[in-house]
C-alpha cells in the first residue's frame, strides 16, 4: 500500500524533518512541498493525495481555516507548536496532532494510526459490499424464490411458517422464524420480538415500543429491547 502525502508548512526546516522521517517509511510517497494553503489547495485539485501534514500558523490562510474549506479533505496529521488547538483538531476529525518538536517514534505512531483507520474503513466497506451482494432462496409453496437480502424489510412469524415482507410484496415461507433467523446476517437483521425480525437498514423510526418500517408498525418485545438498542447504538 502506497500513501501519497503532501507537507503544508511555511517553514523549510519543518519540511526537511517531516520528509526525512517519511523517507524512512517506504510506503510513504511525497507528492509536493506546499508552503501555504493556496499552494496546497491547487495541489489537492490536481493530484491524488491520501495524507496531509498540516501546520496551523501559516500566512494567508490558517491551517484549520484552510481545512474547513475542503469538501473532501485527505487524512490529516497536524504538525504545530500550539497545543491549544488540539480540541478543534479533534472536532475536525484529524488523524493525529503532533506537537513540535516531535520524535521519529511519535511520528511513526501517528502514521500507524492512519493505517489503522484506513484498515477499519476497508473492512467496513468490504462487509457492506458482501451483504449487499448476498442473496437468499426462499421456499414459498412449490417455488424457490431468490431475493436480495437488502430488499427484505422484516419477517413475521405465523406458527410454523413466516411471512417475509419487501417494499412491494409479501411471501409465506415454509420455515420457522427461529430457523430463518439463523440464515440472516446478524449485523443487518435484528430480532425485536418473538414474532418479528427487522432489517436494520429499513427502520424509519423507533418510538416507544414500536418500530416503523414504511407503513408498518412492529412491536418491540420487552425481552429484546435492551439487546436491540445495543446493536443500534
Q: How far apart are CA 98 and CA 81, in angstroms?
A: 8
Q: Do 111 and 177 sit in the same domain of this protein?
A: no
Of the pLDDT bands very low, low, confident and very high (cuts 50, 70, 90), residue 127 is very low
- pLDDT value at residue 233: 63
C-alpha distances (whole Å) from 92 to each of 19, 196, 219 are 24, 40, 39
- The answer, yes or no, to whether residue 228 has pLDDT greater than 90, is no
Q: How confident is the model at residue 130 (pLDDT cuts 50, 70, 90)?
A: very low
Which of 71, 98, 130 is where one domain is finished? 130
Instruction: Quote the pLDDT of residue 186.
Output: 72
Tell me: pLDDT of 122 over 50: no
Question: What CATH number did the domain enclosing 78 receive?
Answer: 3.40.50.2300
Which pLDDT band holds residue 85 (cuts at 50, 70, 90)? low
Q: Mean pLDDT across the stretch 193-213?
A: 92
pLDDT at 132 over 50: no
**C-beta of residue 149 within 8 angstroms of C-beta of residue 184:** yes
- What burial class does residue 11 get, using C-beta atoms within 10 Å of its C-beta: 0-12 exposed, 13-18 middle, 19+ buried? middle
Is this structure's pTM higher than 0.75? no
Do 174 and 143 lie in one domain? The reply is yes
Residues spanned by the domain of 138: 134-232
Q: Comparing 133 with 3, which gets the higher pLDDT? A: 3
Q: Are 140 and 227 found together in one domain? A: yes
Per-residue model confidence as pLDDT tens digits over 150-183? 889 999 998 878 999 999 888 888 888 888 887 7
Closest CA to 80 of 102, 60, 100: 100
For residues 22 and 109, state if they share a domain: yes
Quick one: 88 and 185 in the same domain?
A: no
How do residues 94-121 score in pLDDT, each as one tens digit? 889 899 999 999 999 999 888 776 655 5
Return the number of other C-beta atoms located less than 10 Å from residue 81's C-beta.
12
How far is 43 from 66, CA to CA, in rounded Å?
13
Based on the fold, state whether residues 17 and 113 are members of the same structural domain: yes
Rounded Cα distance between 205 and 214, Å, is 9
- Determine contact, residues 8/37, Cβ cutoff 8 Å: yes
Mean pLDDT for the stretch of residues 6-14: 95
Establish how many alpha carbons lie within 13 A of residue 160's alpha carbon, considering only the half-sphere containing its beta carbon: 1
Domain end point (choices 85, 105, 130): 130
Task: Assign residue 193 the CATH number of its domain.
Answer: 2.40.50.1020
Specify the number of domains making up the chain.
2
Does residue 123 sit in the same domain as residue 161?
no
pLDDT in tens, 175-200: 888 888 877 877 788 999 999 999 99
Is 24 in the same domain as 124?
A: yes
- For range 129-137, the mean pLDDT: 58
Question: What's the CA gap between 228 and 233, in Å, rounded?
Answer: 9
Residues 179 and 80 in one domain: no
Amino acid at each position: 500500500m502506497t500513501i501519497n502525502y503532501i507537507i503544508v508548512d511555511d517553514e523549510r526546516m519543518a519540511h526537511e524533518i517531516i520528509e526525512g522521517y517519511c523517507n524512512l517509511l517506504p510506503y510513504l510517497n511525497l507528492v509536493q512541498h506546499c508552503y501555504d494553503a493556496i499552494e496546497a489547495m491547487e495541489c489537492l485539485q490536481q493530484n491524488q493525495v491520501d495524507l496531509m501534514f498540516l501546520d496551523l500558523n501559516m500566512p494567508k490562510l490558517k491551517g484549520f481555516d484552510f481545512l474547513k474549506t475542503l469538501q473532501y479533505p485527505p487524512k490529516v496529521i497536524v504538525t504545530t507548536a500550539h497545543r491549544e488547538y488540539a480540541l478543534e483538531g479533534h472536532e475536525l476529525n484529524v488523524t493525529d496532532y503532533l506537537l513540535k518538536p516531535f520524535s521519529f517514534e511519535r511520528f511513526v505512531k501517528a502514521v500507524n494510526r492512519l493505517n489503522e483507520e484506513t484498515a477499519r474503513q476497508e473492512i467496513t466497506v468490504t462487509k457492506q459490499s458482501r451483504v449487499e451482494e448476498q442473496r437468499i432462496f426462499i421456499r414459498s409453496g412449490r417455488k424457490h424464490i431468490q431475493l436480495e437480502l437488502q430488499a427484505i424489510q422484516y419477517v413475521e412469524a405465523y406458527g410454523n411458517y413466516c411471512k417475509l415482507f419487501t417494499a412491494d410484496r409479501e411471501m409465506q415461507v415454509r420455515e420457522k422464524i427461529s430457523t430463518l433467523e439463523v440464515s440472516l446476517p446478524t449485523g443487518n437483521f435484528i430480532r425485536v420480538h418473538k414474532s418479528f425480525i427487522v432489517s436494520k437498514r429499513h427502520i424509519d423510526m423507533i418510538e416507544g415500543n414500536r418500530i416503523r418500517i414504511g407503513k408498518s408498525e412492529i412491536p418491540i418485545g420487552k425481552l429484546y429491547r435492551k439487546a436491540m438498542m445495543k446493536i443500534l447504538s
